[in-house]
Chains A and B, each alone.
Chain A
Amino acid sequence: MQWQDVWPPLLGGTLIGLSAAGLLVLTGKTAGISGIVDGILRGERGELGWKLAFALGLVVGGVVLAIAMPSALPVAAPRALPWVIAAGLLVGFGTRLGGGCTSGHGVCGIGRTSGRGFVGTCVFMAVAALTVLVLKGVEA
C-alpha cells in the first residue's frame, strides 16, 4: 500500500459520514442499512417511505458508480455460489439478530459512543478476520 492509497478511503469515509450525519440531523433517522432493508421487508408503518428512498438512493449511487467509476463495482464473485448464498444468509440473519451492521453499529453506533455499537463492531470485525484466516487455512 502506497501513501496515496489513503485518499480514496478517506474521501469515501467522509461521504459516508456526511450522509449518515446529514440523515440524522435533518430527519432524526439512523443510517443503518440492515435496519433499512429490514424495515422495507416488513413494510414498517411510518418508516417505509424514507427507507425505500434511502435504499433507492444506494442503487442510484451504484448506477452513478457503474458509469463514472466502473472499477468500483465487482465483476467477479469472490467465492462459488453456495458460499455466496451461505454468506448472504448469515449477513442478513446476523445483522438483524445483533441489531446492526457496519453502518449501524460501526458508524452510527460508535459515532454515538454507544457501548452496544462498539462491542458489536469489535465482535463482527474480529470474527470476520478469524473467518478469513480459517478459510485461507482450509483452502491452502
Chain B
Amino acid sequence: MKIAIALICGIVFALGLGISGMTLPTVVLGFLDFFGDWNPALMFVMGPAVLIYLVAWRLRRGRKSPFGATLPAKAIHKQDARLYAGATLFGIGWGIAGVCPGPAVTNLARPSEFTLAFMAAMLVGIALSFLVKSRKSAAMNTA
C-alpha cells in the first residue's frame, strides 16, 4: 500500500510541476530574473503548496500514519555550514540551467541530450556528496 501511495503521489507531484511551469527552464530562469525581465508566475506555486503542507503538518505531526511509520514530531531547525554551502552551490546550479531535482526526474519522460545529461551529472553530484558526508550528518537531511 505504501508503495502504491508513493507512486500516486509521484504522479500527482509531476503533474503539479508540469502544470505550474516548473518543468520548463525558460519559465524558471524568467522567475529567477528578479532584476531583469521578471516573470512572477512561479511565485504562486509555493503559496498553495506550503499552505496545504502546513495544515497537514499541524494536524498530524507526531501521529501514526495508516500505511507507514509515525510522522516526525518536530521540524529540524539546525543551521550549519553545510546548509549554507549546499544551498549556495544548489542555487548556482539552479540559476545556470533552471532545473531542480523534481523537474530533472519528471523531464526524463522526454529524453533528450539536455534532460539525460543533466540527470547523469546530477547523479554524479549526489554520489560526490557521499564522499564528504558522514553517516551522522545523513540523519540531518530534511529531504
Enumerate chain A interface residues (CB-CB to B < 8 A): 1, 5-6, 8-35, 37-38, 41-42, 49-51, 53-66, 69, 72-79, 81, 83-117, 119-121, 123-133, 135-136
Task: With A77-B112, A88-B93 as known contacts, state yes or no: A19 contacts B12, CB within 8 Å.
Answer: yes
Decide if B41 touches A13 in the complex (CB within 8 Å): no
Contacts of A110 in B (CB 8 A): 46, 50
Task: With A59-B109, A93-B126, A101-B101 as known contacts, state yes or no: A124 contacts B94, CB within 8 Å.
Answer: yes
Decide if B96 touches A74 in the complex (CB within 8 Å): no
Contacts of B3 in A (CB 8 A): 49-50, 53
- What's the Cα separation between A124 and B99 when bound, in Å? 13
Task: With A58-B13, A92-B126, A99-B82 as known contacts, state yes or no: A18 contacts B52, CB within 8 Å.
Answer: yes
Closest to A125 in B: B91
Decide if B143 touches A15 in the complex (CB within 8 Å): no
- What's the Cα separation between A139 and B86 when bound, in Å? 26
Decide if A90 touches B89 in the complex (CB within 8 Å): yes
Give the distance to chain A from B6, nearest Cβ to Cβ, in Å. Answer: 4
- What's the Cα separation between A57 and B120 when bound, in Å? 19
- What's the Cα separation between A80 and B107 when bound, in Å? 17
Closest to B37 in A: A136
Contacts of A86 in B (CB 8 A): 93, 96, 121
